[in-house]
Amino acid sequence: MGFEQYHEPAGELSAETRTFARMCANLTEEAEAIGWYEQRISLERDPAARAIMLDSLAEEYKHFSMELEFLFRAKPLWREIAKGILFQDGDIVANGEASESAAGGAGGSGPGEGPPAGPGISPGTSLGIGSLKEQKQ
């Protein structure tokens, strides 16, 4: 991936933002590795090879979880929304909508979690998919 993880000039980004971007890239890579192991395991017939792959898969689960926790700690709004979705019974989408509403979710940036609203955009205005879905209905 190299430096393609940045969508803005890296030199203009804070160290905190660059670390956050690296951890997001790591999370993506772990998710890809989990998918690859799942595919390999589903086809592997040799019991010893399969056992080794299962052990490796568990390591990827651990890495993914640690990186996700790091990102949650960096973004309290993300963590708050995730709490209403992860490990909850019921409809996942409904839980997500309720969790975002309860957290005052603004499409990803809460107080202290993103740039201030731009001209003509009031703080807390959602520019995410949820606001588009509401317009269609």
**Same domain, yes or no: 81 and 69:** no
**Same domain, yes or no: 63 and 88:** no
- pLDDT tens-place string over residues 17-55: 999 999 999 999 999 999 999 999 999 999 999 999 999
Q: What is the pLDDT of residue 46?
A: 98
- Its sign, for the CA torsion 102, 106, 108, 110, is negative
**Same domain, yes or no: 6 and 66:** yes
What is the count of structural domains for the chain?
2
Q: Burial code of 77-110, b = ≥16 C-beta within 10 A, e = fewer?
A: bbbbbbebbeeeeeeeeebbbbbbeebebbeebb
Domain range for 134: 76-137
| Entry pTM | 0.71
Q: 20, 39, 74 — which closes off a domain?
A: 74
